[in-house]
Structure 1
Amino acid sequence: MELFRTWKVPSTPYTMVPASLYLGFAASIIWVGQGTYLTSTARSHARDYNVHEGTVIGKFNGEFWGMFASHQFIGNLISLAVLGDGTEGSTSNTTLLYVVFLGSMTLGTILMCFLTKRNNNGEDGSPDHSVGLYSTVVSLLKSVVSLFFDIRMLLVIPLIAYSGLQQAFVWAEFTKEIVTPALGVSGVGGAMALYGAFDAICSLTAGRLTSGLTSITLIVSGGAVIQAIVFLWILLIYRLTSGVLGIVYPLLMAAILGIGDGVFNTQLNALLGILFKHDMEGAFAQLKVWQSASTAVVFFLSPYISLKVMLLVMLVALGLSYSVFLLLTLKVEKAFSSRS
C-alpha cells in the first residue's frame, strides 16, 4: 500500500473509487476465510498429532503472518528496483510493476487450489456446507451479530481497533512526517522494507512463543510497551537532524514499529482462534470490520490534524485498549479457574 502513495499512478475518481470498493469487498471475504481456515487447520493438526492446541494455533499464525509480512520487504525492494531508475511515474515502469504484482497474485491463486478441506466434524461451529448458500449466509450473519452480546468480544474489540490504527499510522503519518523529511521520498521504500523485515521476524518469533492466554498476554504487553516508547520518542524527544543519526533514527523507529505490528497480527488472530472456536467466522469477520474501520478513520483524519495530535490519539487508544485487554485476560482466567 505504501508503494502507491510513494509513486504517482495516473488515476481518476471514476476508476479509484470503484476499484477501492471492489478491493475492500473482496479482501473482507479473503481475510475471514484465511483466519477460519488457518485456525481449523491448526486444530486438526493438534488433534491428529495429539499436541497442545494453543501452541499449534500460535505457530501456524506465526508462520502465516511471518510470510505475509515479508511482502512489505520484498515488495518494496522490487519497487525500488523497478522504479528507482529516476523515471518516476514512467508508464512502462508502473506497467512492469503491475505485471510483477499480477504474477504474484496469480501464483497465490493457483496454490490456493491445492488447499485441502478440513473436516472438524462440526467442532469449530463452522457452517454446514451441505446446506444452501442462503442458509449459510444467514447463519454467518447471526454469528457475527451474536458476538456483540459476548463480553469477551466486546473486551477484545478495542485492541483490534488499535491494531488497525497503528498500521494506518505507519502507512500515513510515519512515512509522511518522519521518513520523508529525513530520507526523502526515495527513502520510504527502504524504511518500509526494514519495517516489513522486522514485522516478519517478530511474527515468526511471537508465533513460536505462543502457547495460550498467558503467553499472549505477555507478548501483547511487550508489543504495547515498545510502540508506546516510539510514540513518546516522536512526541517528546525526536527532532529532524542531519548526518548519520538523521538516517538511523527513522530506520530504528520503523524496525520497532514493525515488531509491534508483528505482535498484534499474530496474537490477535491466535487469541480469537482460542476464545471463539465455535464462532470462528464471526470472530474473524469482527476482526476485519474493526481493523478496517479504524484504519479508515486515520486516513480520513490525517489531512486535518497535526502529528502531535495524532500521536496523542495513538497513546490514548493504546492505553485504553491495553487496559481493556488486561480486563479480558483476568475475566477469562477467572472463568477458566472456576471450571477447574
Structure 2
Amino acid sequence: MTPEGKKLLNIVILGFAFMFMFTAFQTCGNIEQTVLISFNGTDFHGTGYTSMAIIYGVFSASNLISPSVVTVIGPQLSMFFSGLLYSAYIAMFIYPFTWTFYTASVLVGIGAAVLWTAQGNVLATNSSETTIGRNSGIFWALLQFSLFFGNLYIYCAWRGHDHITDKDRKTVFISLTVISLVGCFLFFLIRKPESEPSSSSDVTESLLQTESDDSSASSRSVSYFYVFILNSCKLFCILTFYSGVYGTSIGAMTRFGTDAKGLIGLSGICIGAGEILGGGVFGMMNKCTRFGRNPVVLLGLITHYLAFYLIFLNIAEDAPVAPEAGTDLQAFITPSVGVALLCSFLLGLGDSCFNTQLLSIIGFMFKDNSAPAFAVFKFIQSIMAAIAFFYSNYFLLHWQLLILVVSGFLGTVTFFGAEWVAEAKRRNSDYDSI
C-alpha cells in the first residue's frame, strides 16, 4: 500500500473508532436528561444538563494540558485511555449515584480534551493541503453515523413508553458501554504515517521561507484567534441544543402522544442523516468553488436559521425544562411530528457545514503545529458548551433560540474574514513560488 493509501486508511479507522465510541456517548447525552427525570432512586439528585456543563467546563480547563499529554504518550494511547473514561461515564448509568455521576462527569471532561486534541493531531498528520478537505469530510461522515444506530435502538425500544423503567435503563446502558469499548480498541489499528522524503531543494526552499513565515505568524495567529472564539460560540451552542436540549424538548411534548419518548431516538437519527449528508458532500466543496469554504458556511447558517424558525413555531417554550409528565402547551402552530423531525435533519445538515470547513481550515493552517491549535479550538468551544448546558436548566426555548441566532451570525461573519485571509496568503505564496 502506498503512503497516501496508508494515511487514508488511518483516517477511515479513526472515523470508525469515533463512530463506535460516539454511538454510545451521543446516544447517552441525547437521552440522559429524560432517563434521570424518570429515575426512581430517591437518593439521586442530578440532572443531565448540569452533568454536561461540568463535562465541558472541565474539558475547557483540561485543554491547557492536553497537548502535553498527546506529545508525551502519543495520540494513539491518548485516544485509547480517553475512550476508557467515556466508557466509564456511560457505565455509571447502570447503577447511578449522585457522587459517581458528577465524578464521572469530571473525568470524562479530562478525557474529552485529550481525545479531541489527539484526533486533531492524527487528522492533520495524515493529511496534506490537497487531502485535508476530503479527510475532514470522511471523518465527519463516519463519526455522525453514530447518531443512527444508538438512536434507532432507542426509538424501537422506547416507542409507546410513558415512563423509562430500571430495566429499560440498564439494558440500554450495558449495550452502550460495550459499544464504546469496541471503539476504544480500534484506535490500536492506527499506524504512524510514513514521512515523505525531502529533497535538497525542498530543504533549501524551507530555509528561505522561514523568515517570511515567522514575520507573518503573529498576524495569522491574531486573525484565527477571532474565528476560534466566535465559531466556537456557534458550534457548541448548537451542539448543546441538538445533543441535549432539542431531543428532551420533543420527548416532553405530550401533544405528540405516547410516541413522544421514542421520538427522541428518531430525532437523533434525523440529525445523523443531516450530518452524514453534509460530511460526505460539503467536506469536498472547499476545492470545488473559487470562493473556497465560504459558500458551505453560508449554507449552514441559512439552514440553521430555517430550523430555528420552525422549532420556534412548533415546540412549546417550556419544553426544555418540563417535568417528567411533560408539557401540554402549544406554540404557534399545531405540533407536528414531521416538522419536528425535519428540524432535526436541518440541525444536523447545518452543523456539518460548519464543522467540516473548520476542521479543514485549522488542519491546513496549523498542519505543523496541530495539537496546540486544536487544543485552543476545543478550549474555547468547551467553555461555551459549559455555559450553554448550564443555562439550559433555566432558559425557555425562545431565549435559547435567540442565543443561537446571534452566535450563528457572528460566527459566520468571522469565518468569512478568516477564509479570505487564508486565501490571500495562499495566493501570495503561489506568486512568490513563481
Q: TM-score, normalised by structure 1?
A: 0.80
Shift of residue 215 of structure 1? 3.1
Q: Which runs of 5+ in 1 are unaligned?
A: 44-52, 124-145
Instruction: Provide the C-alpha distance between the structure 1 equivalents of 2:181 and 2:108, rounded to a whole number of angstroms.
Output: 16
Matching residue of 1:97: 172
Provide the C-alpha distance between the structure 2 equivalents of 1:235 and 1:101, rounded to a whole number of angstroms: 32
How many Å separate the matches in 2 of 1:306 and 1:89?
A: 24
Query: 2:355 matched to 1:265?
Result: yes
Match of 2:47 in 1: none
1:114 pairs, out of 189, 208, 218, with: 189
1:280-291 pair list within 5 angstroms = 280-291=370-381
Work out which of the residue numbers 239, 243, 248 in structure 2 matches 1:167. 239
Report the 3-state secondary structure (helix = DSSP H, G, I; strand = E; otherwise coil) of the residue aligned with 1:309.
helix
Number of residue equivalences: 306
Q: Deviation digits for residues 65-122 of structure 1, max 9, x if unmatched?
A: 1111111111111223444474944333333322322222222222211111124479
SS of 1:215's equivalent in the other structure is coil
Q: CA RMSD in A?
A: 2.8
Q: CA deviation at 1:252?
A: 0.9
Alignment partner of 1:34 is 2:34? no
Structure 1 match to 2:154 = 79
Q: Which has the higher contact order (CA 8 A, sep 6+)?
A: 1
CA distance in 1, matches of 2:361, 2:197: 20
2:292 matches 1:215: yes
Query: What is the match of residue 2 of structure 1?
Result: 30
Corresponding residue of 1:138: none
Question: Is 1:308 equivalent to 2:398 in the alignment?
Answer: yes
Distance change in 2, residues 1:215/1:331 (3 Å) = closer
CA distance in 2 between counterparts of 1:147 and 1:81 reads: 53
- 2:261 is aligned to 185
> Kindly tell me: are residues 173 and 95 of structure 1, through their superposed partners in 2, closer, same or farther at Cα, counting changes over 3 Å?
closer
Name the TM-score, length of structure 2 as normaliser. 0.64
Task: Give the partner amino acid of 1:332.
Answer: A
Q: Give how far 1:148 is off.
A: 11
CA-to-partner distance for each residue in 1:145-204, whole Å, 9 max, x for gaps? Answer: x99981132122111221111111223432344564253233111112111122112111
Q: Which residue of 2 aligns with 1:321?
A: 411
Q: Match for residue 47 of structure 1?
A: none
In 1, distance between residues paired with 2:189 and 2:314? 51
Look up the equivalent residue of 1:70 and give its one-letter code.
F
Residue 274 of structure 1 corresponds to 364
Relative distance call for 1:101 and 1:303 in structure 2 (3 A) is: closer
- Residue identity over aligned pairs, in percent, reads 22
Rounded Cα–Cα distance in structure 1 between residues aligned with 2:218 and 2:197: 19
Q: Alpha carbons of 1:80 and 1:7: their partners in 2 closer, same or farther (altered >3 Å)?
A: farther
| C-alpha spacing 1:147/1:317, structure 2 compared with 1 (3 Å) | farther
Instruction: Give 1:133's aligned residue.
Output: none
